[in-house]
Structure 1
Amino acid sequence: MADAEEFGAELTDFRERVAELRANRALPGGGGPANLDAALFELQYVSDVLWPRYEQLVAAQRQNARPADPREQQLLRAVFQGLPVPVVLLDRDSVVSRLNFAASQLFGLRAGYAAGRSITASFAHEGRAAFRGQVAAVARHEGSRSLAVELMHGLGNGAGGDERPTRLWVTLTAVRPPGHRRTAVLAVCQPMTKGAGRRPAAPGVAATEPAGRPDPAEVSSHVELMDLLDDMVVALLDDTGPRAESPLARACRVLHGRFADWVIADVAARDGAPEDGWLRRVTVLGPGNGPGADRAEAVAAQDPAAAPLIGEAARAGASALQVRPEDPFALGKAADGLPVLALTEASSLLCVPLRPPSGAVLGVLTLLRVGPRHAFELAEASAMERMSRHIALALRAA
C-alpha cells in the first residue's frame, strides 16, 4: 500500500512538471534548448523509473491476489447453466464467451461451436449493427439498456413443427467475471410471443422497443380500478341511504372484500393533539365468520396511537405501501400483545391519510390484503390516494 501511494505521488509530480513545460512552451522563446532538454529528461524518467515501478506493482498485486475458490467457481458455473432464461456472456465485439443451456436451445447452437463467434449471426441483418452498437456502449460503462431483436429467418420454427419466438427482448448489462481482464457484457434474452405488447425495461434501463399492443392483464386491472373509482364516487354522493351512516362508512363498504380483505378507518378528533387521543378508531371490516370476527373485535379495540405507521401517516400526510412488511409491530399490537399484522395475517398493507386538497388530515384509512391475494401495486396505491381525497372532501362537507 505504501509503495502504491509513493508511486502515485511521483506520478502526480511528473504530471505537474509536464504541465509546466507545456505552459513555458507557449511563452515567447519557450521552445529553446533548455525546455527541450527538460522534456527529454522527463521522457527518460518515465522510461527508466516510472514504468519499471509500475511493472513491479502489477507483479506484486498478482502475486498477493488470493486464488479463486474452485468450489465457488463450480457453483457459479452450475448456477449460470441452470438459469431458466437464456443468458449469453459477450465481449465488447458481441463475440460469445459462453452461453447457458437455455440459450443454446433458443439459438440452436452448441456451446463449443458458439464460443468465439459473434451472436449477431443469429439475428436478422437489419438489427445486427444496432445490437453491436448497444453492446459496445454497455462495455464502455455507459449504462445498462434493453432492445428488441429479430431472429434470423429459419430460427423461428423448430424441427418438430413447434412454433418458437422470432423476436427477443434482450437486456444488456456490464459485468467483470473473475479472471477476465476486460469488461464483459451479460445478455439476458426474453422471448416475445406473437401479439405480445411492449416488454418493460428494468429500472434505470433505456428501452428502445416501440410501443405495441397493450397487455390484456394491465388493461383488465385498469378497468377494475376505474370501476372501483366510479363506485366510490357514487357511494360518496348518494345520500339516500341511512342518514346515520357517514361517508367514511360508505367508502369502507365499497373497499371491503373488493379491494382489501381488511379495512380499518381512524378519524381525527376536532380538538386534540397528536399526543392526546388525536385519532380514534371508527370502522374495522374484516372476515365476518368464525375466528375472523374475534380478530376484528381485537383490532377495533386497539388505540390508533399504538400503531406507528398510522400515526406517521396522520402526522406527515403521506401514504405508505409495504409488501410483506418486515416489522410485525408496524400497526401496533392488540390488547393481548399480539402484533396486528400477525393477527390479521396481512401480506401487504396500504396506509392512506384522508386529507382534502387544502386542509389538515381528517383521518387515516388502512387497507390489508392476506393470503394468496396479490400484493398492492403502485397503480392501486395511486388510485387509492385519489379516492382518499374524495373521501376527505365528503367528510369535511358532512
Structure 2
Amino acid sequence: MAEAEDYGVELTDFRKRVAELRATRALPDGARPATTLDAALFELQYASDVLWPRLEQLAADQRKNSRSADPKEQQLLRAVFQRLPLPVLLLDGESVVNRLNFAASQLFGLRAGYAAGRSITASLAHPSRAVFRGQVAAVARNEGSRSLSVELMRGLADESAHPGRLWVTLTAVRPPGHRRTAVLAVFQHTARLPGPRPAGDAPAGRPDPAGVSGHVVLMDLLDDMTAALLDAPGRRGASPLERAARVLHGRFADWVIADRADPGGGPLRRVAVLAPADRAGGDRAAAVAAQDPAGAPLIREAAGAGASALQIRPEDPFVLGESAEGVPVLALTEAASLLCVPLRLPSGAVVGVLTLLREGGRQAFELAEASAMERMSRHVALACRSS
C-alpha cells in the first residue's frame, strides 16, 4: 500500500513537470531555457526506465499478496466514519456511492443499503449535477482536492433554514481492498460555515478574537460592496460589475477577472482584469484581458452550471485556460488559490462570472469567505440586470 502511494506521488509530480515543460514551450525564444529539450528527454527516459517497471511490479505484487487488512482496524474505521457529525460519502470516479455515514443518510434522505451503487447526483439540483460529476472525476484522476458549491434537489432542502445550498469538499483516498482511487466527499450547509479559527480554539463561552475579526472584515466588505452597487449607475462610466471588481481588488483578492454575458444571453466577454500593482502587472493583465473566457474550463463550467468553485493550489495549470502565447493563466497570475463565482439571478440565469485569485504569499480562500462571496454575487447580478 505504501509503495502504491509513493508511486502515485511520483506519477503526480511527473505530470506536473510535463505541464511545466509544455508551458515553457510557449515562452518567447529569448526567455526559453536552452536546456528545455534535454529536460523533456530526461522525463521521457524517467517514464520508460522507472515509472513503467514500477507499475508492472506493483501490479504483480498486488496479485500475489492480496490479503485483507486487520479486521479490528477496519471495524474501528467504520465506527469513526459512521459517527462523524458531518455528512460524508465515499464515491467512485463516476459519483456512485460506495458508502455514506449516518449524517449523510439524513441529509439526502437515503438508506445506506439503497444508496450504495447509485449515483448521488440524483439528489442534487439539475444545474449542479454536471459540475459535481466533473470535479469528482478530476479528483479521482488524482488531480488534487477541491471544494465547490452545489444545491440539493427541491424537496430535500430544509427551506426554513437554508434553500439547499451546500459546500462540498472532495479529496482522493485509497480504501483497503479498493483497486482504484475513491473520492471522499464532505458536505456542509453554507449557513453553518465557520469563520476563521486560530490554532487553538477560544475557551467555551468566550468569543474567538480571530473569528470575530474575520467576521468584521467580511461585514465591512459586504457593506462597501452594497454601497458601490447602490452608487449612481453613471458615475465615472463604470458598470456595476466593474465597481464590484474594484471593491474586491486588493483587499479580498490579488487578481479580479470579471466576465459579463450579453443581456439576451450568449457567450461571455471579458470586461475587467485587475492585477497587483507591480511593474509586470500591466503586461500580465493585458494578456489575461485578451483571453476569450470560453477558453477557461472553470469559468465555462461556472457560467453553464451556475455553481461556484473553490480550489486551493490547483493541480491543473490550464484550469483557467491560457494566454494567446500558450502560457497558462495560473502561471501568469502566480495564483495559489482561486474562487470562481457565477453571477446568478433568482431565475437561475447567469449574467456573468467573477474569478478571484490570491497569490502564494497570501492566505488561501476559506469556506466562510466563499460563502460571503456567494451572497455578494447575487447582489452584483441584480445590479447588472438593472443597469
TM-score (norm 2): 0.49
